[in-house]
Every structure is written in structure tokens, then in C-alpha cells.
Structure 1
Amino acid sequence: MVFRSPYPDVEVPDVSLHGLLFADLGERADRVALVDGTSGASLTYAQLAGAVDRLAAALAARGIGKGDVVGLLSPNTPYYAVVFHGILRAGATATTINALYTADEVAHQLADAGAKMLFTVSALLPNAAPGAAKAGVSDVVLLDGAEGYPSLAELLANDHPVPSVEIDPAEDVAVLPYSSGTTGRAKGVMLTHRNLVANIVQCNAMFHVDGSTRVLAVLPFFHIYGMQVLMNNGLQVGATVVTMPRFDLPEFLRVIQDHRTNRVYIAPPIAVALAKHPIVDQYDLSALDGIFSGAAPLDEELADIVAKRLNCRVSQGYGMTEMSPVSHAIPDERDDIPVGTVGLILPSMENRIVDPATGEDVGAGERGELWCRGPNVMKGYLNNPEATAATLDADGWLHTGDVAVIDERGLVTIVDRVKELIKYKGYQVPPAELEAVLLTHPEIADAAVVGVRDAEGEEVPKAFVVRQPRSALDEAGVMEFVASQVAPHKKVRVVEFIEAIPKSAAGKILRKDLRARENA
């Protein structure tokens, strides 16, 4: 059966993302759009829109336009929004890169996306420069400045005409974030202007965010959650978005206190700190009226502790990069919905719950894989028709790989995962990628990686390793080897040596057998 949102369908404007956010600033023009939470530097909406136009003009003068891809590798700052929207304003596609990526990971994404330029910051040059060089990207611009590189300020000082670009919202790809989807190595997710515009309009029906809202943006803009829910949705409704370059608990609390942010978006690890750390009591957090968690499941008991300690509402939602990203959320006006659920289906979306074994739909209260369809669902994976077909069927249903239950009230609860992806502190960790790294070690004969729970209940990557004969490799050696080649969130954190990796007759790793060892 098909489950629909209890909310009426929304009308999705037939405009580009730039058109939705900047076509008519109205009374927003002189309002502060973005503030650097650390320095206090800010941009009004008029200044932001003007800088976006100037950058688009500079990019057009450099030959960047429709069909081109530009990389963006930076922590959160007000100028991240300038670069992001300047790329789209020029008609190009932005591929946002994880600021923690190694040089090889940066190179892979730039090359796979076919990027022609890269914007980054001086602090990230040790990985950005060799990554760009390896990918054949020679045009590297810094948001701040460093000797030998053009700066964003230089590009913004141009007097070139702003390009006139015809955007087909339903077809033209606006952003190309990378996601592991339901399995495997990270793939470019093609999100059109219509996908992004639709999800902003859909979220507006659920969230009470407006011009009086001060949004704390500590979650990274390179991640679809930060990009859309914090940055783009905040700007569309005229809110003030306060940026932080990284999470640091004392600074996080200070920014909430000093900037009086009343809407804070987090991932569950931040909730743990808010619930348990004694330093929280040293700050005035009275401006807070709502905390919204996403990117990974939030424990209901933990949410309750945070809500009581901070005297504010705590809620959560669910989504995927492939859905731009939000598909389910607890609406702001619904205090009766338990945080153990991910709330209700967004407007203009349909859901099915499908038995993975039979492929048949199941009804309310029964478990099955969650399938989603709506205007926010991706166009597909870049240059990967096989992965697209495995995730997005011919009827437009996105197979999420998550097991869910929808009850009689329409409340959705995520209960398990069909997919193999590990979610560490909200970041995606593909087991196959770590296995590929492990197998390059000369003393490792075979390896498999699964997610296990640590002492704090966090899912972490565990490697099962088969050593070569006469090898003296130990756990620390395995972890150090992987850590030297991947971003910090992908590090192997537990190692167990075994005689053989269990596999099916077809050679597929039997991860369920490895997980069973944990519970034996």
C-alpha cells in the first residue's frame, strides 16, 4: 500500500534555486543573512546577493557555465554561501567536498565529478593542492588567501557582466554531493534545481522558521543536511544563519549564548555532550527554543534529557542525500509525537514499506524496506547507471535500504538497516572502501568491515582481518595503516583477527555472520 503525508501537497515553483532565494529580497535586503560566529563578521541579504552576482560574473569570464562542475572544499563561513550560490548563479554545478578528506579522496571526487575549478581555504591546502593536482584541476581559488593563489576577494572585485543563464529546473543539476547511498564507494548524487527547491518548500510546511529565527550552523555545509536545512532553507525564509567552522563544545555554547541563536540543528553526538557535560551549565542558553537532530538516529531517552536540561523542544527527522535530503520530520507544532520516531512523511511525498524477501508491500505496523517517491528525489548517480537502477526504480521509487514501520497514525520509525553503510557520528563510512584500503597492506590476506557499537552506543567501523602467514601485524598496526589513508571519521576503531572471512558461494562477504560473533 502507498502511504501519503497527512499534509496537502505543496506547489513547487518552477524556478532555479537562485531564483527562489534571491529573485525578490524585499524587506530582507538590509537584514543580516549570515554571521561568522567566531569573528562576528556578517553579510546582509543585499550584500550576499551582490557578491553572488559578482562571483557568477567572474566565473563566466573564466569560462565557467552550464555543464561545468566546480569543487568547493571549505569549512562553514558566510562566504561559503557566496561561492556555493555564485557557482549556481553562473549556471554551473557545485560539488561540495568533505573538509576532512585526504588528498586522494579530494582527487577522486574532483576527477569523478569532472570538476574544472576548486575553491578552498589556506588551512586545507595541504590536502586540497595535491588532490587538485592529481585530478588535473589547475584553477584553485582561496576563500581567504595564500601566496601563489588567486583569492575570492580578487574575483569579487571584477566588473564583468553578470551572465544570463537559462536554467531548466527539472533537468539541470545544481549540486553534486557525494554519498555512498545504500552501499559501496561514494557516488555523485545529481540533485536538480527542482529537487532542492522542492525540499525547501516541503520543509517550510513542517518547520516554523522565519525572519526572526537565528539558526546556528555548526553542521557542515558540504553535507546535504547543512547545505539545505541550515543554509538554503534559512536563507529562503529570511533567517539569520550563524556559522561555525567546526564543532567545539565551549565555542558552540558561547555562540548560542552570545548570538542568541534560537534554532540549533545537530547530529546525535552533540546531543550526548549537551546531556552529559558539566560545562553546559556555565552558559546562558535561554534563547534556545528548538533543537532538531538528523543524520543518524537520536535516542528518545537522550532527547528527553537534553530537552529538560535546556528547557527547549527536541525533535528529529530522517532523510538521505538522494532525497535533497529530508523525507520525514516531526513538525514543529506536534508536541505529541515521540522523538523515537522520525515523525511524518513530508508533503508531496509517498512511501511504501516493502518486504525485502518477497518484494511485496506490507501494511501499517509491519516492518519492511522504506521506499520513497517525490519531487525531492534525485535525478540519479553521476555516470553510474547500474547504481542508479539499483536504488531508483523505473517508477520513481527510491529504495532507501532502511527498514521502517509506519503506524496507524502515519508515524514513521526507522528500526534497522538493509544496507551495509556504517553511520559514524552522522558521517557515512562505506565498509567496501575500508576493505579496499586494508587489502593493500602486504601482511593482510583478507579483510571485512562491519559497524559495531562502542561503549557509548556509537556505531564504529570494526575490521575483521586475516593475516598473512608468519605476519606479526597487531591491532594498532592495522588501525594506523588505515588512518594514514582516510579521513578521520572513516578510521577503523576496532580490530579482530580471524582465520577466514565468511563468504557466500558467490564470494559475497557474510556480514551477518561477522555481526553474530559480536552477539555470541
Structure 2
Amino acid sequence: MEIQPNLPFLGMTELGGFGTLQNSNNKNGSCGTVVQDVQIKIVDLENAKVLEPNHLGELWLKTATIMNGYYKNLEATKSTVDEQGWLHSGDIGYIDEDGELFVIDRIKDLIKYRGHQISPGEIEGVLLLHPAVLEVAVTAIPHATDDEHPIAFVTKTPGAEVTEQELIDLVANNMMDQYKLRAGVIFLNALPYTSSGKIAKRELKAMAKKLVMK
């Protein structure tokens, strides 16, 4: 397989290679389409039923090169690869009508609100529509009765201005009730990053918890 440089793909060590690969004709933000000899599907988080295109769920993959298991960790192996050989990726995403895969979040990052599982990535996508928002990361703070409330950390585009209430209203007017930024918006000069170049959401979550304790 010839890999074109600088094009997104989805691969996992547990998978033993690529699951999907983008080509120059694929949409921005997608991980491309499934590669040869790999099967993928998006399943409901509650009942594992296969979902229709453009519905968010967990990405499962299957191929002959999937790992035999984690070294001396049978429990982790069983929770990752089921009896039918499907690898449960832990990624939240969807497959569109053209068969392109979009990964939005990790299951471990989902926010729990009154029985709902909220994708931070969906909220981030709406906030990024505002021209004054340069970067955004959504996490949650604990709540006594609602489980968790979403909170957004935002950096502004240089020279642009936006208020906390404007961003709260943007989400409220474009998303369902459970997605509302009930814990508000925090503006930062810069978002923290990990050594691998990803936004350090664990650090932001710790920062959010400290706000609750004040």
C-alpha cells in the first residue's frame, strides 16, 4: 500500500496496522475510508447495535492482524477484543454516507449529565464556529445532582473579542439542552499541551475541579 504523506489515517497498535486511510479526495477532518482486509462499524454505546450513517457511537474494527492480547492482562484483553474478534477502540465517531470515518472523542472523555453521555468534541465544534475562538477544549466539573456539568476552556483569536455569555448562548441556541455550558467558559492565554502535541485535558479537568472547590 502506498501511503501519501501528510494525509490522516486511523491506526492502532492493537489492530496491527491501519484501519482507515484518507486520500486526496476525502473530506477535511475525516480519517478516510476503511482499508483492504479491515472491517469497521459504529455501535450504540448502550446496546452495541450497529448504527446508521452519521450517528455517533463507538468504533469497532476487525482484521486478521488484531493482537492476541495484552501481556499478562487477560481482563484488559477481554474488555478490548470480544469473542467475535471485534476490537473495541474506545473512540467515539461516525461513518458518513460516503463511508468516511470521523473520530470525535474518546469514551473516557464523555461527560455524564443526568443519564446522557455528552461528547465534548461536539460542543467544541460549535464553539469553533465563532470567529473569535482560536482554540477550545471542553471538559466537566462534578455536580451533586446532575453528575457533571460541561465547562469550556477557550483561547481567543488575536485582536478579537467575545464574552462568556456569547459562547454560552451559542451552544444553547445550536445544541440540545444537555449540551449547555452549565459550568461556564474560562478564557486562557494558551491551552496546555502534552508532550505528544495533544491538548492536556487531564490538566484542564484538574483545573476545573479546583474551581469547584473554591
**TM-score with structure 1 length normalisation?**
0.23
Point out where structure 2 has 5 or more consecutive residues left out of the alignment. 1-40, 52-56, 59-68, 92-105
How far 1:397 moved relative to its partner? 5.9
What CA distance in whole angstroms lies between the structure 2 residues aligned with 1:435 and 1:392?
32
Give the match for residue 204 of structure 2: 514
Give the match for residue 3 of structure 2: none
Secondary structure class of the residue paired with 1:190: coil
Residues 451-503 of structure 1, C-alpha deviations (whole Å, 9 max, x = no match): 21135352111111112234332211111011111111112222111111222
What CA distance in whole angstroms lies between the structure 1 residues aligned with 2:122 and 2:163?
21
Larger Rg: 1 or 2? 1
- Of the three residues 458, 478, 494, the one matched with 2:167 is 478
CA contact (8 A) 1:371 1:400 kept: no
Matched ranges for 1:339-418 at <5 A: 360-361=73-74, 371-372=78-79, 395-396=85-86, 398=88
- Of the three residues 443, 448, 458, the one matched with 2:147 is 458
Question: Is the counterpart of residue 190 in structure 1 residue 25 in structure 2?
Answer: no
Secondary structure class of the residue paired with 1:449: strand
How far 1:443 moved relative to its partner? 0.8
Give the match for residue 497 of structure 1: 187
CA distance change for structure 1 residues 422 and 468 in 2, over 3 Å: closer, same or farther? same
Tell me the amino acid that sits aligned with residue 465 of structure 1: V
CA contact (8 A) 1:431 1:449 kept: yes
Give the match for residue 429 of structure 1: 118
Point out where structure 1 has 5 or more consecutive residues left out of the alignment. 1-175, 183-187, 192-320, 323-353, 363-368, 373-389, 402-416
What CA distance in whole angstroms lies between the structure 2 residues aligned with 1:430 and 1:422?
7
What CA distance in whole angstroms lies between the structure 1 residues aligned with 2:81 and 2:171?
29
Give the match for residue 96 of structure 1: none
Tell me the amino acid that sits aligned with residue 508 of structure 1: K
Residues 127-174 of structure 1, C-alpha deviations (whole Å, 9 max, x = no match): xxxxxxxxxxxxxxxxxxxxxxxxxxxxxxxxxxxxxxxxxxxxxxxx
Question: Is the counterpart of residue 445 in structure 1 residue 158 in structure 2?
Answer: no
CA contact (8 A) 2:111 2:150 kept: yes
Secondary structure class of the residue paired with 2:158: coil
What CA distance in whole angstroms lies between the structure 1 residues aligned with 2:112 and 2:77?
18
How far 1:370 moved relative to its partner? 8.9
- Corresponding pairs, count: 139
Tell me the amino acid that sits aligned with residue 180 of structure 2: K
Determine what percentage of the aligned residue pairs are the same residue. 29
Matched ranges for 1:176-325 at <5 A: 179=44, 181=45, 189-190=49-50
What CA distance in whole angstroms lies between the structure 2 residues aligned with 1:426 and 1:371?
26
What CA distance in whole angstroms lies between the structure 1 residues aligned with 2:72 and 2:188?
35
CA contact (8 A) 1:371 1:398 kept: no
How far 1:421 moved relative to its partner? 0.9
What CA distance in whole angstroms lies between the structure 1 residues aligned with 2:107 and 2:147?
18
Tell me the amino acid that sits aligned with residue 504 of structure 1: T
CA contact (8 A) 2:151 2:185 kept: yes
Tell me the amino acid that sits aligned with residue 360 of structure 1: N
CA contact (8 A) 1:370 1:399 kept: no
CA-atom RMSD in angstroms: 3.9
How far 1:189 moved relative to its partner? 4.6
- Of the three residues 106, 109, 112, the one matched with 1:420 is 109
CA distance change for structure 1 residues 371 and 457 in 2, over 3 Å: closer, same or farther? farther
Secondary structure class of the residue paired with 1:484: helix
Q: Normalized per residue, which structure has more strand?
A: 2
**TM-score with structure 2 length normalisation?**
0.51
